[in-house]
């Protein structure tokens, strides 16, 4: 493909910007880890309370050696994927119904806001009583955190589509189904990806909260167990692993976003 000189310059600047962003992201991590380790080495911080990169690494490898890391990790990822999938599907269906029936949206709007603002941790004991102390309660906890914000964001995205497009289709005698499939959904593809970014982080938070309450497996359980026996190394290692998982899930969604933008352009 033949590009103009101006377009080639633009692409070059974009690549340079990406390299700079990546460089500073890595630099921040390196500086943080180095500073943390130096503070521990010079006894400025108490490693018993704050741990250190070396001790976190030792704990990480010990979890791999005894096989517990992959067992706990697989449980957490499984719960996240199930909760995330259910939240996206149920959220999309409910948002579509609210758009389809405006009266329904007006009726339930304040209730969605109230339910979204409720402290979900306070509902934890009730969820355990209603569903049982099992993986079901973890999934319900994750759904209670992610689904309402998914519904609200998706419905708002549907409602904010350019009204002129809808009026044009109505003048052409288009059905509501045609308006939904030809205007509403195509106009919100990038919004769907942004909603997925929020949803995946909320789902991960919900799963960990659920594991802290009821689970005997998973990274949330490792954090709770480490806290109960005052093993700060285990707690911080689990938190670091959670951070890595969160980044990887976010990275997958951003790759989907980049692929979509390339197809559009």
Of all residues in the chain, what percent carry a pLDDT higher than 70? Answer: 97
Q: Are 120 and 145 a contacting pair, CB within 8 Å? A: yes
Q: Which CATH architecture has domain 47-264?
A: Orthogonal Bundle (1.10)
For position 27, what pLDDT does the model report?
96
Statement: residue 2 has pLDDT above 80: no
Asked whether the beta carbons of 53 and 33 are under 8 A apart, the reply is yes
Q: Check pLDDT > 60 for residue 60.
A: yes
Closest CA to 201 of 87, 38, 45, 61: 87
Note the pLDDT of residue 265: 59
Confidence (pLDDT) at 52: 92
Q: Is residue 263 scored above 70 in pLDDT? A: no
User: With 90 as the cut, is the pLDDT of residue 262 above it?
Assistant: no
**What is the distance in angstroms between the CA of the first residue and the CA of the last residue of the chain?**
14
Q: Tell me what the mean pLDDT of segment 106-113 comes to.
A: 92
Give me the pLDDT at residue 258, please: 78
Which stretches within the chain are classed as H helix? 5-41, 47-50, 53-65, 68-100, 102-117, 120-131, 135-159, 163-171, 176-179, 185-187, 189-214, 219-228, 232-264
Question: Smallest Cα–Cα separation from 162: which of 184, 182, 181?
Answer: 184
Closest CA to 227 of 218, 235, 237: 235
What are the b/e assignments for 194-224, b being 16+ CB within 10 Å? ebbeebbbbbbbbbbbbbbbbbebbbbbbbb
Is pLDDT above 60 for 8?
yes
Contact 167, 107 (CB under 8 A): no
* pLDDT for residue 56 is more than 90: yes
State the Cα–Cα distance between residues 217 and 236, nearest whole angstrom: 17
pLDDT at 151: 95
pLDDT tens across 194-218, in order?
Answer: 899 889 989 999 999 999 888 788 9
Please give the Cα distance from 154 to 135 (Å, whole number): 27
pLDDT at res. 118: 83
The mean pLDDT value of the chain amounts to: 89
**C-alpha span between 219 and 56 (Å, rounded):** 15
Q: Which pLDDT belongs to residue 84?
A: 93
Express each pLDDT in 127-170 by its tens digit.
888 888 888 999 999 999 999 999 999 999 999 998 888 888 88
Write the pLDDT tens digit of every residue in 63-106: 999 888 999 999 999 999 999 999 999 999 999 999 999 999 99
- Give residue limits of the domains in the chain: 1-45, 47-264
């Amino acid at each position: 493909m033949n590009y103009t000189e101006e377009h080639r310059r633009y692409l070059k600047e974009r690549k340079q910007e990406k390299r700079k962003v990546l460089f500073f992201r890595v630099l921040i991590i390196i500086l943080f880890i180095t500073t943390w380790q130096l503070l521990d080495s010079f006894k400025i911080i108490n490693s018993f309370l704050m741990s250190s990169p070396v001790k976190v690494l030792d704990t990480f490898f010990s979890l791999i050696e005894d096989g517990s890391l992959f067992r706990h990790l697989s449980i957490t990822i499984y719960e996240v994927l199930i909760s995330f999938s259910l939240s996206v599907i149920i959220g999309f269906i409910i948002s579509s119904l609210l758009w389809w029936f405006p009266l329904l949206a007006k009726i339930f709007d304040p209730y969605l806001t109230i339910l979204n603002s409720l402290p979900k941790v306070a509902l934890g004991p009730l969820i355990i009583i209603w569903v049982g102390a099992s993986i079901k309660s973890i999934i319900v906890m994750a759904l209670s955190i992610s689904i309402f914000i998914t519904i609200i964001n998706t419905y708002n995205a549907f409602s904010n589509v350019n009204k002129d497009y809808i009026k044009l289709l109505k003048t052409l005698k288009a059905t509501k189904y045609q308006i939904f499939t030809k205007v509403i959904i195509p106009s919100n593809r990038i919004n769907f990806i942004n909603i997925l970014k929020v949803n995946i982080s909320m789902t991960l938070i919900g799963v960990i909260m659920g594991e802290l309450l009821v689970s005997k497996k998973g990274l949330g359980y490792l954090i709770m167990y480490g806290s109960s026996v005052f093993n700060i190394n285990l707690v911080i290692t689990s938190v670091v692993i959670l951070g890595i998982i969160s980044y990887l899930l976010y990275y997958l969604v951003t790759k989907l976003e980049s692929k979509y933008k390339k197809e559009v352009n």
